[in-house]
Structure 1
Amino acid sequence: MADVSYPEDVEHIAEVALECFGGFDTWVNNAGIGLYGPLEELKLDDMRRLFDVNFWGVVYGSRVAVGHLKHKGGALINVGSVASEQAIPLQGLYSASKHAVKAYTDALRMELEHAHSPVSVTLIKPGPIDTPFPMHAHNELNREPKHVPPVYAPGTVAQAIVQAATRPEREVFVGAGPKAMATLGLLAPGSTERTMASTVIPQTFSSRPPLPQQESVLRRPSESLRERGDYPGHVREVSLYTEAVSRSSFRGMAAGLLGLGIAALLWNSLRH
């Protein structure tokens, strides 16, 4: 077991890979924890702990990975979030950490390109995924949090990661929903924020009381090894948008359809 918030633990991961397999050609930084609650009510120590894992864990992992990959080539894949592009209310610190991951990943990519290093750098940006994330997150709300739809199956993210390892992309949105949210935030930030404030905040609260805080993974792993969560609504097992954009022959079609959807959403939000 390793804690990515400690650089020596991350270095040990690479050492074990070298000992067991002789090396690696792909490195995925995916560790992350959640923190639900109004920003003005969160404890500073909890906020720092989240950054230790979500941001510094990516930094430590990226430095170790690039140190090995730049000599023989390979892929570095960092898992961000749609929150890398559009902040999410009641998950403000999580959003801030994913914004930081995006900036670090983008800058690292540019520096490696300038140095002609044979390392591809991809940022994966999923939306809500039906994992135990809300149950394991540290929660300061008066109810157990839940995902806000659309919600996708974990396999959609795994597929995007494998695709990035075999056919590198700069960034990959998992799901048309996250892509549309990010684009709306760019085109109409004020309307998007007002819409999210009025819809996302109330939908984040489930009907269940909060779980005991000792069950959160802010400072210790859950050790449950569960893949799926308990989202009560519809879970999209595939992302047609992500599959389409991964194929160059269908990218134009995917972009066109997404554009029509975004235009409709934008028009609807501006009317309200």
Structure 2
Amino acid sequence: MPRVRLKPLSRQTIVVTGATSGIGLATVRMATERGAAVVLVARNEDALQRLAEEIRGRGGRAEYQVADVADPAQVDAVAAKAVEAFGSFDSWVNDAGAFIYGRMEDVSLADQRRLFDVTYWGVVHGTLAAARHLRHQGGAIINVGSVLGDRAIALQGPYCAAKGAVKNATDAFRMEFEGEGLPISVTLIKPGPIDTPFMEHARNAMGTQGTRNPPPAYHPRVAARAILHACETPVRDLYVGTAGWLTSLGGALAPRLTDYAMEVLAKPTQTSEDPGRAERRDNLYEPKEDLSERSSLAGPAPRGRSLLLDAQINPGKAAALVAGLMAAALGAVLAGAGTNTSRLRYHRRR
């Protein structure tokens, strides 16, 4: 198995697709805050230009390339832009995705193919373009999957299918790169519900006013933290959010029970009377309003921390914490047992 050495973020150039919204936007902002240079990739040229100016205005380094990741030639142009602008790149984040809510029977085949072109083929195109460069110098490829790639949910069938394909393609790339001895780390990020504009960007085939995430949702910066950890640290998978991980676990251990639960919960947890911002609605074929990490939908504030992610990033600290809690619990039990024994002896003496 090849030894992969990854640079600190402050010395990296990172390519991020889907950079103008949600997790991708949070990732590039956090990366530049930590000193990385970034190549921003999306379809929305106006948003790309404004984001690059924002980053440069804070003293960061940013270039952009307009691209639809469904087109491999446009993705190859992204790699060329990164080399032209910065001489090289060290990490490539495949984050771009498309979203559709609706029953499988109600979503047109053309729309399903378009979703796959972006969400699955975009990852394949990006991984191939990145690997052609990184096979010589080493680096990281980070693919943003989903817990829905482990376990499908009703009313998001095409998206779940595409994310399942992303998971399997990522695993195949990883094994093949390792088998060839390439110094490339390949990581799959598996977010649960994240409060991003994807609910507003999604095409809605349910006939409802709006769509939403099943709760609880996490802030996009929690997912961005996982991505940036993978840029610096070779790791196979990272889950973001305990609830999402439990969904995957439930699907593996009790698939039929999970089916029944989702059949009951799918519609009430994914439909809303709040349509969100009209300017963002339905970007399946054309870009819409961008430059927001979070959605505009009303609801509880997203969680800003995932203890499960903390445990994956710092397994030693997590083990120490668990050991400490167990020791404290054992100490309390023994202390209680000692007190009870003393009382028993006292009563016997009397």
Q: Normalization by structure 2: what TM-score? A: 0.70
Q: Does 1:131 align with 2:193?
A: no
Distance 1:131 1:107, change over 3 A: same
1:252 Cα deviation after fit: 4.4
Q: Please give the alpha-carbon distance, in whole angstroms, between the structure 2 residues aligned to 1:50 and 1:183.
A: 26
Q: Which amino acid aligns with 1:220?
A: E
The answer to whether the 8 A contact 2:201-2:280 is kept is no
Q: Please give the alpha-carbon distance, in whole angstroms, between the structure 2 residues aligned to 1:10 and 1:254.
A: 44
1:107-153 Cα distance to aligned partner (Å, 9 max, x none):
11000110010000000000111111011101111211111111000
Q: Does 1:197 align with 2:289?
A: no
1:173 to 225, 236, 239: 239
1:223 Cα deviation after fit: 3.9
Equivalent residues in 2 for 1:229-244, closer than 5 Å: 229-231=295-297, 232-244=299-311
Corresponding residue number in structure 1 for 2:213? 147
1:99 to 158, 164, 176: 164
Secondary structure of the residue aligned to 1:151 is coil
1:222 Cα deviation after fit: 1.5
The answer to whether the 8 A contact 1:109-1:120 is kept is yes
Q: Please give the alpha-carbon distance, in whole angstroms, between the structure 1 residues aligned to 2:257 and 2:218.
A: 25
Q: Please give the alpha-carbon distance, in whole angstroms, between the structure 1 residues aligned to 2:280 and 2:291.
A: 17
Q: Please give the alpha-carbon distance, in whole angstroms, between the structure 1 residues aligned to 2:270 and 2:321.
A: 29
1:57 Cα deviation after fit: 0.4
2:136 to 66, 71, 76: 71
In our comparison, the structure showing a higher alpha carbon Rg is: 2
Distance 1:234 1:196, change over 3 A: farther
Equivalent residues in 2 for 1:18-167, closer than 5 Å: 18-143=83-208, 144-167=210-233
1:203 Cα deviation after fit: 1.4
The answer to whether the 8 A contact 1:125-1:171 is kept is yes
Q: Please give the alpha-carbon distance, in whole angstroms, between the structure 1 residues aligned to 2:178 and 2:75.
A: 24
Structure 1 regions of 5+ residues with no counterpart? 257-272
Distance 1:211 1:234, change over 3 A: closer
Distance 1:214 1:24, change over 3 A: closer
Secondary structure of the residue aligned to 2:284 is coil
Q: Which amino acid aligns with 1:145?
A: T
Q: Please give the alpha-carbon distance, in whole angstroms, between the structure 2 residues aligned to 1:205 and 1:254.
A: 39
Corresponding residue number in structure 2 for 1:217? 283
State the aligned residue count.
256
The answer to whether the 8 A contact 2:279-2:289 is kept is no
1:243 Cα deviation after fit: 1.2
Q: Relative to structure 2, which stretch is displaced further, 118-127 or 238-247?
A: 238-247
1:251 Cα deviation after fit: 4.8
Structure 2 regions of 5+ residues with no counterpart? 1-65, 324-350
Q: Please give the alpha-carbon distance, in whole angstroms, between the structure 1 residues aligned to 2:322 and 2:166.
A: 25
Distance 1:229 1:211, change over 3 A: closer
Q: Which amino acid aligns with 1:241?
A: L
Distance 1:187 1:244, change over 3 A: same
Q: Please give the alpha-carbon distance, in whole angstroms, between the structure 2 residues aligned to 1:194 and 1:212.
A: 34
1:31-74 Cα distance to aligned partner (Å, 9 max, x none):
00100001011101000000000000001000000010010100
1:253 Cα deviation after fit: 7.1
Q: Please give the alpha-carbon distance, in whole angstroms, between the structure 2 residues aligned to 1:13 and 1:125.
A: 25
Distance 1:92 1:213, change over 3 A: farther
Q: Normalization by structure 1: what TM-score? A: 0.89
- Cα RMSD (Å) of the superposition? 1.9
Q: Please give the alpha-carbon distance, in whole angstroms, between the structure 2 residues aligned to 1:93 and 1:222.
A: 21
Q: Please give the alpha-carbon distance, in whole angstroms, between the structure 1 residues aligned to 2:196 and 2:217.
A: 10
Q: Relative to structure 2, which stretch is displaced further, 206-215 or 30-39?
A: 206-215
Q: Which amino acid aligns with 2:152?
A: A
1:175-210 Cα distance to aligned partner (Å, 9 max, x none):
111111101110000001111111122211112369
